[in-house]
Each structure stands twice: as C-alpha cells, then as structure tokens.
C-alpha cells in the first residue's frame, strides 16, 4: 500500500489544501493529513477544530486519515512507516522553500517528497489569507471547504 502524509498546520484547511488531498488520493492508496503541533505558534482555530474540519471535509473518503504530531515531519513518517511526503506548490517562492526542506528530509532519511502544483483556481489561497479575511469580517466561505464554513 502506497501511503503519504500531507503535513501542515491547516489553520484552517483551504480549498487549495482540499484540492491537493483529493488529487493525492489518486496517486496514493492512503493520504494521512498530518497536523503539526508547534507550541510556539499561535493558532486561530483549536487543534480539535482543525482536525474536525478536515475529518468532516473527507468523511466520505476512507483513504484520507487525519493525525496530529509534534517534532520533525520525517521522524513522524518513520514512526508510522510512511515513505512519502505530499506537498502543494502555489508559486516559485513555495518551490524554493519546499525544495530546501525536501533536500533536508532526504539527507535525514529515505523519505521522498512528491510535489503537486496547485490548481490555477486555488493557487492564490493560503491559510494566512483566510485568517485575515475572517479577522476582518470578509466572506471567507469562498476560500474553504464546507466543513469550515459552519464555524
């Protein structure tokens, strides 16, 4: 069984994330959406809410699992025996940042990173943009899956 993790903070999950996960399950038998916990980061949504948003968005897709972890992503991959990391790329800046992380992960382990380009229709969306729209009482519902809209 080919398994991949899709790591991130998902604060909150966006339509861009949703698209990468949907396309990821066409490539892998299982995609584990892995919510990283960083005690130094301040989140808008609780860990429980972020996990529920993702679980609800994929409630009819048994090949998508949601887990949380702390520490290095490659260490988490080793612990749960997952050989692939799935990442989405929106722009050249994402590529440069993700390339450095992928090279580091390969140096630390045998974990392979698979990149998917985001769909043109979602490439401008980021969680930080969504949070800013929410903070300023804008219509964020066009940027996130239905599961986040009910919040």
What domain range is 142 assigned to? 3-149
Tens of pLDDT, residues 77-123: 999 999 999 999 998 888 999 999 999 999 999 899 999 999 999 99
Query: What's the CATH code of the domain at 87?
Result: 3.40.50.620
User: How many domains are contained in the chain?
Assistant: 1
Among candidate residues 63, 65, 78, 90, the one labeled active-site is 90
Angle value at C-alpha 132, between 65 and 115, nearest 5 degrees: 40
Find residue 37's DSSP bridge partners. Answer: 70
pTM for this model (two decimals): 0.94
Among candidate residues 41, 42, 81, 107, the one labeled active-site is 41
90 is known as an active-site residue: yes
41 is known as an active-site residue: yes
127 is known as an active-site residue: yes
Among candidate residues 3, 50, 87, 127, the one labeled active-site is 127
């Amino acid at each position: 069984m080919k398994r991949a993790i899709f790591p991130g903070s998902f604060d909150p999950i966006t339509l861009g994330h949703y698209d990468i996960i949907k396309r990821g399950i066409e490539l892998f038998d299982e995609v584990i959406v892995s919510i990283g916990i960083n005690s130094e980061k301040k989140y808008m949504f609780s860990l429980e809410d972020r996990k529920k948003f993702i679980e609800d968005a994929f409630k009819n897709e048994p090949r998508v699992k949601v887990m949380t972890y702390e520490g290095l992503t490659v260490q988490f991959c080793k612990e749960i025996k997952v050989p692939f990391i799935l990442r989405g790329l929106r722009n050249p800046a994402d590529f440069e940042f993700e390339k450095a992380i992928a090279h580091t992960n390969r140096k630390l382990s045998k974990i392979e990173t698979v990149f998917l380009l985001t769909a043109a229709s979602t490439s401008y969306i980021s969680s930080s943009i969504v949070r800013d729209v929410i903070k300023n009482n804008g219509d964020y519902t066009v940027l996130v899956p239905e599961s986040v809209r009910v919040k």
